[in-house]
A = this chain, B = another copy of it.
Amino acid sequence: MKVITFGEPLLRFTTEAEKRLHQVDQLAFYFGGAEANLAVSLANFGHEVEFVSAIPPNSLGSACRKYLKANSVKTNFLREQGSRLGTYYVEAGIGNRQANVTYDRAYSSFHLVDESIFDWDQIFLDVDHFHTTGITLALSDKLREITLVAMQKAKEKGISVSFDFNYRAKLWSQSEARDAIQKVLPYVDVAFCNQLDAIHFLDIEESKSEKHEDKLKEYYQNIVEKYPNISALSSTKRAVHSSNKHELEGYFYDKQQLVKSKSYVIDPVVDRIGGGDAYAAAILHGWLNQWPLTDTVDFATASSVLKHTIKGDSNAFTELEVKSYLSLLDQEISR
């Protein structure tokens, strides 16, 4: 299938985990950003994917484009304008010490786009699916308008739409987010939304259930009542035992049932950045292929777990590799 993702590419600089920033004199760098990561994952799963965005016409922009192409993501609508890539610095955490993130992403090329540079009729030619996240909405009023227009066009053309709440407190307030998110939700088919998102942005009351699953199902039922256009909802539950040891579960809801994946202990966590995008991409892959609910959530959680074992923001695994990881686990259980 042909998929469009829309959002900001980011340049990440990162220390090696065993030193603080002031102890080093070089930094590894990776390209990422939620929507770019999802694009790479879906391309690895065999889809034709375009990443729609803006980069500066300089050597960093050009390196970013090469990264996307190497990962089979098309860049025909990656406009060149402005003067910088959004950047952030990660002092990697380890064991008892948390990572320390320093943002330097204001004034980026994508940040400053206006509507004139994206011709959605052209972009949406022969397209099956459109994806974006709350981060894109957060960046500017202009980007909120552009996204809304894009979603409306998508629906008109019969293109399905997915949306990941991805709330970033450093980018906008909860009330700004609430307004913007409620405006786009009527055009969404698949939403990635966790418990706090439901409470903060959709005015749903806190559940009184005990178990995570019961609460989440309650919230999701509420959401699909408000937005009957939404046909699927998903999220993960993560427990952080240390910077290097997490526990992860996936949840997927289709209006009929809420299914839950196997629970994975991830030890060590090599790089958690992009773990959520790897999950979302894999959920979409199952949804677009109309896989059974359980298969999809298992595939997505395994996909995210594998992402945690490599450095870099995006998932470097094919459908075959994720599935062979899953079947390996099955064998171990059945022994």
* Nearest CB in chain B to that of A107: its residue: B107
- Encoded as 1 (CB less than 8 Å from any B CB) or 0, chain A from 1 to 42 comes to 000000000000100011111110111111000000000000
Decide: A242 and B270 in contact? CB cutoff 8 A: no
* Nearest CB in chain B to that of A30: its residue: B25
Give the number of copies in the complex. 6
Tell me the dominant secondary structure on chain A's binding face. Answer: mixed
A91-B59, A271-B18, A316-B22 given as contacts; is B266 within 8 A of A96 (CB)?
Answer: yes
Kindly state whether residue A63 has any CB partner on chain B within 8 Å: yes
The distance in angstroms between the C-alpha atoms of A28 and B308, with both chains bound, is 23
Kindly state whether residue A306 has any CB partner on chain B within 8 Å: yes
Decide: B20 and A266 in contact? CB cutoff 8 A: no
- Residues from chain B with a CB closer than 8 A to the CB of A268 are 94-95, 244, 268
From B62, B70, B270, A69 is in contact (CB under 8 Å) with B70
Chain A residues within 8 Å of chain B by Cβ, number? 62
The distance in angstroms between the C-alpha atoms of A97 and B95, with both chains bound, is 19
Decide: B59 and A89 in contact? CB cutoff 8 A: yes
Decide: B58 and A270 in contact? CB cutoff 8 A: no
Query: Which one of A98-106, A131-139, A141-149, A187-195 contacts B?
Result: A98-106
- Residues from chain B with a CB closer than 8 A to the CB of A67 are 70
Kindly state whether residue A66 has any CB partner on chain B within 8 Å: yes
- Residues from chain B with a CB closer than 8 A to the CB of A305 are 96
**How many whole Å from A286's CB to the nearest CB in chain B?**
20
**How many whole Å from A255's CB to the nearest CB in chain B?**
31
Kindly state whether residue A311 has any CB partner on chain B within 8 Å: yes
Kindly state whether residue A60 has any CB partner on chain B within 8 Å: yes
- Residues from chain B with a CB closer than 8 A to the CB of A242 are 267
* Nearest CB in chain B to that of A106: its residue: B107
**How many whole Å from A20's CB to the nearest CB in chain B?**
5
- Encoded as 1 (CB less than 8 Å from any B CB) or 0, chain A from 49 to 84 comes to 000000000111011001101111000000000011
